[in-house]
């Protein structure tokens, strides 16, 4: 009996050590009820070489010098509800730390607007739910250093991963995920030299308005179009200022010919006989005074009669010089989209491992149901399809729910899966559909980590694909680690009694606690 019992005891000891390692890994992660958010920043660089950076992050976590994914709710609630003097002192220390840790390469910081005690108290008294995290914005204003042609930014390392959106004149904003404490990609800004203002020559006096014969179209008015052109180049560090000038002149070749004036000699009067013709028939007309007729012919036309348009050529305005203002802005090459994609992949992975304890517990609940691989594949597939669907729909604003609803439902889904693991030993027909429904909610939770980052619509696809790939890699990593810890014991008869039931009970207890805490 002794040779048989010794291996059993050794196996039990190994299983206990594996459970302790698993629990240590879970307890080392963030054990809090508040949803963690990635920090985001928007850098606006103006044509006058000034910049404004708005940084939005979890202020209380930063004040306590910790990341949102590691810190618990208790210290933040204690600071939020504690004496105002303590909160004021902590905010002052945090403001100084932010000023020291925020750095620019090629810029000079002029001012930093840090949230005040009144801002935090207003958040606390507003009754917003969930109460945590306290998301606030810090505004940094500055200008480019003399002679600097590029600028880059580095944010405090304690903020963790941050998504920076750079906006420069006449360019589409570009979003870039940054690792904790990493310097952003340098943005090159070079204004082109403006052209001198060129005045148009004085136009010749316009001819009087001519009457138009009925039925003829009105001649078009000559137009002079001046267009401001924006030229963007991506020539690397060297940028040549571009200028452009255009000459526009009207054309009269297609103008319709105006009808002659009524008094013009071109119009022959109708030969209508006088009324007394019949009465004077057969009589001889007296000769007309030739001198009077010649005088009337040579007399000037009445002042009100307009000149003949056929004898007066139309006035053609000389060409007008039109200035085109050009502002040349050079940014980083467009091939950096691959760097952005990899950044979002890393962000999605870290959202699961090590920072997404709630998602880790849900995947472990799926893993613990059965010792067979097929049920696990069914559940993982249903969960992946569901959260990928709502992640895309939520990111584009088609489907959206408040976090006050999403977070409690996510916690409840974890509790449901864990409790069902205790009650059943096989994959029930409804289980994949339940997992799919919960996956829809988890997808909206994933989208919550992206929708507040200030992403532009042209970055949505890159962020969606990269983040989703990272989430899948994180989930597969959780399953792989679970196999390494306890998978080798899945074929043993007491696997369910020693591994599945205790682990599921621990997961269910944590999830029920989260559900209550996120609801009240």
Q: Which of 29-43, 57-71, 259-273, 327-341 has the lowest mean pLDDT?
A: 259-273
Q: Which residues, other chains included, contact 514 with Cβ-Cβ below 8 Å and sequence gap of 6+?
A: 33, 358, 408, 411, 414
Q: What is the pLDDT of residues 263-300, one digit of tens each?
A: 444 444 444 444 444 444 444 444 445 444 544 545 55
Give residue 237's pLDDT.
Answer: 42
Residue linked to tokens 């569901």: 386
Q: What is the pLDDT of residues 454-481, one digit of tens each?
A: 888 888 899 999 999 999 999 999 999 9
Give residue 93's pLDDT.
Answer: 97
Strands (E), 201-305: 244-248
Question: How, if at all, do strands 39-45 and 162-167 pair?
Answer: parallel
Residue 429 scores a pLDDT above 50: yes
pTM of the entire predicted model: 0.66
Give residue 361's pLDDT.
Answer: 95
Average pLDDT of every residue of the chain: 76
CA 168 – CA 379 distance, rounded (Å): 46
Q: Where residue 96 falls among pLDDT bands split at 50, 70, 90?
A: very high
Residue 230 scores a pLDDT above 70: no
CA 75 – CA 246 distance, rounded (Å): 66
Residue with more model confidence, 439 or 452: 439
Q: Which of 82-86, 129-133, 466-470, 511-515 has the lowest mean pLDDT?
A: 129-133
CA 162 – CA 12 distance, rounded (Å): 44
- Delimit the domains of the chain by residue range: 39-192, 337-519
Q: Which residues, other chains included, contact 50 with Cβ-Cβ below 8 Å and sequence gap of 6+?
A: 141, 142, 143, 144
Question: DSSP string spanning 427-461?
Answer: --TTHHHHHHHHHHHHHHHHHHHHHTS---GGGHH
Q: What is the pLDDT of residues 341-393, one digit of tens each?
A: 999 999 999 999 988 899 999 999 999 988 788 889 999 999 999 999 999 99
Q: Which residues, other chains included, contact 182 with Cβ-Cβ below 8 Å and sequence gap of 6+?
A: 154
Give residue 283's pLDDT.
Answer: 47
Tell me the two tokens of residue 222.
């000559």
**Phi, psi at 433, each rounded to 5°:** -70, -40
CA 287 – CA 93 distance, rounded (Å): 119
Give residue 444's pLDDT.
Answer: 93
Q: What is the pLDDT of residues 213-228, one digit of tens each?
A: 555 555 555 444 444 4
Looking at the DSSP bridge assignments, the partners of residue 322 are: 246
Handedness of CA 350, 355, 357, 359 (dihedral sign): negative
Tell me the two tokens of residue 56.
């939005």
Give residue 68's pLDDT.
Answer: 86
Q: Where residue 448 falls among pLDDT bands split at 50, 70, 90?
A: confident
Q: What percent of the chain has pLDDT over 70?
A: 65
The mean pLDDT of 87-103, rounded to a whole number, is: 97
Q: Which of 218-227, 407-416, 435-444, 493-502 has the lowest mean pLDDT?
A: 218-227
Q: What percent of the chain has pLDDT over 90?
A: 47
Looking at the DSSP bridge assignments, the partners of residue 273 are: none
């Amino acid at each position: 009996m002794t040779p048989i019992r010794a291996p059993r005891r050794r196996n039990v000891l190994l299983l206990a050590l594996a459970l302790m390692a698993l629990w240590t890994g879970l307890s080392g992660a963030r054990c809090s009820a508040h949803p963690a958010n990635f920090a985001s920043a928007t850098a606006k660089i103006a044509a006058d070489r000034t910049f404004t950076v708005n940084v939005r992050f979890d202020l209380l976590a930063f004040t306590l010098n910790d990341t949102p994914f590691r810190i618990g709710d208790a210290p933040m609630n204690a600071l939020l509800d504690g004496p105002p003097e303590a909160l004021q002192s902590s905010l002052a220390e945090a403001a100084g730390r932010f000023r020291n840790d925020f750095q620019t390469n090629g810029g000079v910081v002029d001012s930093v607007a840090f949230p005040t005690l009144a801002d935090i108290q207003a958040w606390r008294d507003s009754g917003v739910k969930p109460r945590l995290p306290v998301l606030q914005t810090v505004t940094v204003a500055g200008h480019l250093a003399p002679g600097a042609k590029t600028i880059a930014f580095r944010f405090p390392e304690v903020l963790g991963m941050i998504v920076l959106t750079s906006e420069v004149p006449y360019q589409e904003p570009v979003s870039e995920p940054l690792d904790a404490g990493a310097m952003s990609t340098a943005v090159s800004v070079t204004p082109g030299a403006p052209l001198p203002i060129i005045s148009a020559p004085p136009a010749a006096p316009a001819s009087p308005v001519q009457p138009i014969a009925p039925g003829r179209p009105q001649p078009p008015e000559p137009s002079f179009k001046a267009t401001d052109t924006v030229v963007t180049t991506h020539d690397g560090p060297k940028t040549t200022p571009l200028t452009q000038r255009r000459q526009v002149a009207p054309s009269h070749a297609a103008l319709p010919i105006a009808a002659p004036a009524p008094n013009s000699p071109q119009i022959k009067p109708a030969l209508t006989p006088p009324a007394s013709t019949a009465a004077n028939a057969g009589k001889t007309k007296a000769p007309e005074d030739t001198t009077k007729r010649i005088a009337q012919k040579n007399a000037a036309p009445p002042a009100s009669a307009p000149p003949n348009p056929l004898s007066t050529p139309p006035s053609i305005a000389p060409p007008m010089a039109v200035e085109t203002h050009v502002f040349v802005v050079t940014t980083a090459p467009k091939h950096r989209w691959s760097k952005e994609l990899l950044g979002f992949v890393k962000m999605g992975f870290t959202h699961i491992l090590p920072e997404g304890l709630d998602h880790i517990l849900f995947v472990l609940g799926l893993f613990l149901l059965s010792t067979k691989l097929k049920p696990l594949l069914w559940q993982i597939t249903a969960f992946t399809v569901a959260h990928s669907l709502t992640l895309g729909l939520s990111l584009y604003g088609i489907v959206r729910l408040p976090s006050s609803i999403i977070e409690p439902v996510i916690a409840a889904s974890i509790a449901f899966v864990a409790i069902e693991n205790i009650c059943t030993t096989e994959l029930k027909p409804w289980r994949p559909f339940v997992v799919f429904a919960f996956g829809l909610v988890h997808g909206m939770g994933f989208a919550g980590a992206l929708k507040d980052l200030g992403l532009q619509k042209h970055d949505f696809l890159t962020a969606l694909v990269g983040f989703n790939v990272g989430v899948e890699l994180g989930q597969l990593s959780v399953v792989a680690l679970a196999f390494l810890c306890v998978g080798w014991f899945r074929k043993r008869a007491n696997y369910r009694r020693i591994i599945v039931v205790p682990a599921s009970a621990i997961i269910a207890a944590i999830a029920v606690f989260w559900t209550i805490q996120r609801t009240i």
